[in-house]
A and B are shown apart, each in its own frame.
Chain A
Amino acid sequence: MAPQALTLLNNPFVLRQAELFAQQVQERAGSDIASQVELAYRTALTRSPSAEEALIGRQLVEDGSLAALTHVIFNLSEFLYRR
């Protein structure tokens, strides 16, 4: 529901965790964006991104920040729900 989406979008705790996750990815993957996207996906979702996902991920990092990507990952349906 919308209030839960609001929390995942705006709550300081969630954003702080996205930043910490981004820092961890940065430390381990280095500065190569493709490696960062790959590691973020593998860490959060235990799989590699598809080519399309990798492209969207790259754009998020290039236009925003690595924390923008990790924040989006925290909001992904796949991250939040079991299949």
Chain B
Amino acid sequence: MSYSHKQQRKFWSRREFLMQSGGGMAGLALASMLHRDGVFAAEAGSQAAGPGGAQCSAQLPGAFAAKAPHFAPRATNVISLFMSGGPSQVDTFDYKPALTKYAGQSMEDLIGEKFAVRQGMPGPLMPSPFEFKQHGESGMYVSELFPHLARHVDEMAFIKSLYGSSNDHIQSTYEMQTGQIRMGFPSVGSWVTYGLGSESSSLPAFVVMNDYRGGPLGGPNDWGSGFMPASYQGTLFRSSGDPIVDLETPAGMSERQQRARLEALAKLNQLDMEKYPGNSELAARIASYELAYRMQGCAPEAIDTSSESEATKKLYGLDAAITEPFGRQCLMARRLVERGVRFVQLFMGGVGVQNTDTWDAHSNLVENHTLHAAESDLPIAGLLTDLKARGLLDSTLIVWHGEFGRMPISQRGVGRDHNPGTQTAWMAGAGIQGGQAIGASDEFGYKALEQRISAHDMHATILNLLGLDHEKLTYRYSGRDYRLSDIEGKPIPQIIA
């Protein structure tokens, strides 16, 4: 941020100050981390939390404590790869020869069902313009869009029957993220953080990175904590420039000076808390300052990818312009997971121009999917390879999906409209059984048909792999014990090896 001399001379009103210094200050509404009091007091006289040094990996008082899962987990960390805009299942992983056989025919006539599409201009059945081949020992079909991922099919479990209940981006994104199409519910990352706590005292437990072009539709609610304390929401790292701004202590301020201010701040907020007992937001605010203080010392190393070897950078595609942005995010995800971040979520595709900058291929399927696959195929394959080489793949669950799939019929002859009827998601890592297809869509890839998987089922599966009983992980709100999996989700049984 830079401000002109003239602006700097002006004394700002409280309102102006808040507007200027935050932008998103509404998001500052922090809530309880249910901490014991005296977050700073607990460390009084100790240099333990000072920026830098060996403390970056230590569990210190004041962070989210790690919590024991309900049963032995398959994985301890999650990297969620959210393909914003909605990739087409029938052009990626769900091979449908019937689209060629019935090319140009009316799907409504063939299935005897009228349907509505989101934008209109529906056309006839449209074969995939991309060639499919079988890969790996398992013979999973992958289209030519993903030549690098295709080499990993034996590690990937394809869920070919993930359906949703809205035809709109935002509602569908909320559904895949929270289980509900309405806003205001905790995201899957929040639930995982709530259930398992943090492994790191110096980095947030739940980190989100958006596409370099912008964030997904739905905005911060996509990684919000809903009715849970706001400290469970995802912490957004920037995807270009410095991932975290204002990380450095200002020039001219010593660590001791800053510490004095923080200690005074904690004491004053503590006095406030005594005046308003039960205001757990205050405790969370105190804790967020403590985390901020530690991040100054530990986060610069965590987000600095320059120390990675050339071979590793190449593995993620940092050497090519097309793969560099998402490759950097994938590499960052590995570094964060290595350092104890519980849940990392990367959004691939972001709002600039919706139909070209996300997977939302209404207007030109070939151009759109060719671009986004080229941007993400090698980096994701690199991530799988790297995690495996470092022994992290077994303890890390990788989840890939969008908000919905796309229609098997054409739109304007060249695109595909939204289709919540089915999409293909895949999971890897976490000791899952790779090289398998779970569920199936119908002949045209229009609707989930066999072993239909809802967002609730997917969420129950994720919790299950993390050692959390999705029926026991509840949060009481508005007189009800809410679950991420609601009242109907069930873990996918055959995903476990």
User: Is the CB of B306 closer than 8 A to any CB of chain A?
Assistant: no
Can you list, as one digit per residue, whether each of A2-21 has a CB less than 8 Å from chain B (1) or not (0)? 11111111111111110011
Mark out the residues of chain A between 37 and 55 whose CB falls within 8 Å of any chain B CB in the assembled complex: 44, 50, 52-53
Partner of A13, one of B21, B25, B247, B291: B21
Return B22 CB to nearest CB of chain A, in Å: 7
Given contacts A12-B1, A20-B11, contact A72 B264 (CB under 8 A): yes
Partner of B236, one of A3, A17, A21: A3
| Pairwise interchain contact B260-A68, C-beta atoms closer than 8 A | yes
Which residues of chain B are within 8 angstroms of A8 by Cβ–Cβ distance?
21
A71 to B253, CA, bound (A): 12
Q: Which of A7, A21, A44 has the most CB of B within 10 A?
A: A7
User: Is the CB of B245 closer than 8 A to any CB of chain A?
Assistant: yes
Which residues of chain A are within 8 angstroms of B249 by Cβ–Cβ distance?
10
| Pairwise interchain contact A2-B292, C-beta atoms closer than 8 A | yes
A82 to B289, CA, bound (A): 19
Can you list, as one digit per residue, whether each of B9-30 has a CB less than 8 Å from chain A (1) or not (0)? 0011010011011101101111
| Pairwise interchain contact B27-A4, C-beta atoms closer than 8 A | yes
Return A10 CB to nearest CB of chain B, in Å: 4
Mark out the residues of chain A between 62 and 78 whose CB falls within 8 Å of any chain B CB in the assembled complex: 63-64, 68, 71-72, 74-78
| Pairwise interchain contact A10-B248, C-beta atoms closer than 8 A | yes
| Pairwise interchain contact B289-A9, C-beta atoms closer than 8 A | yes
Partner of A2, one of B1, B267, B291: B291
Closest to B286 in A: A77
A6 to B272, CA, bound (A): 21
| Pairwise interchain contact B288-A11, C-beta atoms closer than 8 A | no
Chain B residues touching A, majority SS:
helix
A24 to B296, CA, bound (A): 30
A73 to B256, CA, bound (A): 18
User: Is the CB of B478 closer than 8 A to any CB of chain A?
Assistant: no
Given contacts A10-B249, A11-B1, A17-B12, contact A2 B295 (CB under 8 A): yes
| Pairwise interchain contact B261-A71, C-beta atoms closer than 8 A | yes
Which residues of chain B are within 8 angstroms of A78 by Cβ–Cβ distance?
272
| Pairwise interchain contact A3-B11, C-beta atoms closer than 8 A | no
User: Is the CB of B493 closer than 8 A to any CB of chain A?
Assistant: no
| Pairwise interchain contact B250-A12, C-beta atoms closer than 8 A | yes
Return B492 CB to nearest CB of chain A, in Å: 33
| Pairwise interchain contact A3-B14, C-beta atoms closer than 8 A | no
Partner of B257, one of A1, A5, A10, A68: A68
| Pairwise interchain contact B247-A53, C-beta atoms closer than 8 A | no
User: Is the CB of B3 closer than 8 A to any CB of chain A?
Assistant: yes
Which residues of chain B are within 8 angstroms of A11 by Cβ–Cβ distance?
1, 21, 245-246
Return A37 CB to nearest CB of chain B, in Å: 12
User: Is the CB of A60 closer than 8 A to any CB of chain B?
Assistant: yes
User: Is the CB of B117 closer than 8 A to any CB of chain A?
Assistant: no
Which residues of chain B are within 8 angstroms of A1 by Cβ–Cβ distance?
27-28, 30, 204, 230-231, 233, 235, 288
| Pairwise interchain contact A7-B261, C-beta atoms closer than 8 A | no
User: Is the CB of B58 closer than 8 A to any CB of chain A?
Assistant: no
Given contacts A6-B247, A13-B3, A79-B14, contact A68 B295 (CB under 8 A): no
Mark out the residues of chain B between 251 and 306 whose CB falls within 8 Å of any chain A CB in the assembled complex: 257-258, 260-262, 264-265, 267-269, 271-272, 276, 281-282, 285, 288-289, 291-293, 295-296
Partner of B261, one of A21, A60, A79: A60
Closest to B11 in A: A20
| Pairwise interchain contact B1-A13, C-beta atoms closer than 8 A | yes
Return B228 CB to nearest CB of chain A, in Å: 14
Return B327 CB to nearest CB of chain A, in Å: 23
Which residues of chain B are within 8 angstroms of A57 by Cβ–Cβ distance?
264
Which residues of chain B are within 8 angstroms of A71 by Cβ–Cβ distance?
261
| Pairwise interchain contact B235-A77, C-beta atoms closer than 8 A | no
Partner of A60, one of B231, B246, B264, B282: B264
User: Is the CB of B8 closer than 8 A to any CB of chain A?
Assistant: yes
Closest to B247 in A: A6
A17 to B285, CA, bound (A): 21
The 7 closest A-B pairs by CB, nearest first: A5-B292, A10-B246, A2-B291, A2-B292, A6-B246, A7-B246, A6-B292
26 pairs from A and B in contact (CB 8 Å cutoff): A1-B235, A2-B235, A2-B295, A4-B22, A4-B25, A4-B28, A6-B245, A6-B295, A10-B247, A13-B1, A15-B250, A16-B3, A17-B12, A20-B8, A52-B271, A53-B271, A60-B264, A72-B261, A72-B265, A74-B17, A75-B265, A76-B272, A77-B272, A77-B285, A80-B18, A80-B28
